């Protein structure tokens, strides 16, 4: 699932989730490309979620150095900014065990 941020913050990806069962099928990359084509350039990710951070880094996002507390928790979020050509995101190889429809 991907949801673009509110109108006040339209350049930010608010949520991106792919069910664990469908990881490594290119779904997340396709959703990222969809958002990037619509000028979403920023996102927040849990600092401790190293898998998600690596996913974003492989798709051209870099850490901006900004951190903030996740509301209602003791966990920190880090801001990431996209800086890579979209074709590189779309051309990445995936290890999906399911056939594409």
Please, what is the average pLDDT of the chain? 79
Going from N- to C-terminal start, the domains of the chain cover 2-90
- Output the CA–CA distances (angstroms, integers) from residue 45 to 22, 52, 77, 97, in the order listed: 20, 7, 5, 27
The alpha carbon torsion through 31, 58, 84, 79 (nearest 10 deg) reads 80
Banded model confidence at residue 8, pLDDT cuts 50, 70, 90: very low
Statement: residue 47 has pLDDT above 90: yes
**Superfamily name and number for 2-90:** Gcn5-related N-acetyltransferase (GNAT) (3.40.630.30)
């Amino acid at each position: 699932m991907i949801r673009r941020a509110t109108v006040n913050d339209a350049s930010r990806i608010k949520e991106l989730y792919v069910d664990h069962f469908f990881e490594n099928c290119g779904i997340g990359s396709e959703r990222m490309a969809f958002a990037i084509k619509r000028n979403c350039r920023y996102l927040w990710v849990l600092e401790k979620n190293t898998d998600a951070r690596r996913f974003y880094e492989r798709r051209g996002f870099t850490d901006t150095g900004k951190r903030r507390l996740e509301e209602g928790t003791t966990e920190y979020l880090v801001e990431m900014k996209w800086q890579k050509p979209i074709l590189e995101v779309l051309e990445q190889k995936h290890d999906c065990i399911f056939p594409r429809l």
